[in-house]
């Protein structure tokens, strides 16, 4: 394996791109808009982190209970300060393995976990 890309199918492409760009600093790397085929690849790649996320257009929301996206940060408290009053969240919640979790939901209903600590 050389990488991982997560795909989210949603009718809310623009809202989702704004959410991940604004709150997680992901950049648009690629986009396409063809009949019956529209989407965006977001990502960031630095010496400290690398991730890719495809936001793909579909006509209706599905069930996203089985998926969550998890972003590791240096400081959960700093992340909370950056979103407080602008995005609803729960936490920080200490986990038994020593990590600190912050829970939020993206515009498509996908659970996002922002965590401080080990993998």
**Per-residue pLDDT tens for 72-108?**
899 999 999 999 999 999 999 999 889 999 999 999 8
Residue extents of the structural domains in the chain: 5-116
Between CA 75 and CA 83 the distance in angstroms is 13
- pTM for this prediction: 0.75
3-state secondary structure of 11: coil
Answer for the pair 41, 33: CB distance below 8 angstroms, yes or no.
no
Q: Name which CATH class applies to 5-116.
A: alpha beta
Provide the pLDDT confidence category of residue 58 given band limits of 50, 70 and 90. confident
């Amino acid at each position: 394996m050389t990488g991982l890309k997560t795909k989210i199918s949603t009718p809310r492409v623009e809202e989702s791109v704004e959410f991940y760009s604004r709150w997680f600093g992901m950049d648009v790397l690629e986009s396409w808009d063809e009949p019956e085929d529209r989407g965006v690849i977001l990502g960031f790649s630095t010496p400290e982190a690398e991730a890719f996320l495809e936001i793909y257009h579909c006509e209706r929301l599905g069930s996203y209970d089985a998926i969550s996206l998890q972003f590791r940060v240096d400081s959960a408290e700093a992340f909370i300060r950056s979103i407080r009053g602008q995005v609803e969240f729960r936490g920080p919640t200490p986990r038994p393995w020593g990590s600190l979790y912050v829970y939020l939901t993206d515009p498509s209903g996908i659970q996002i976990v922002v965590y401080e600590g080990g993998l």
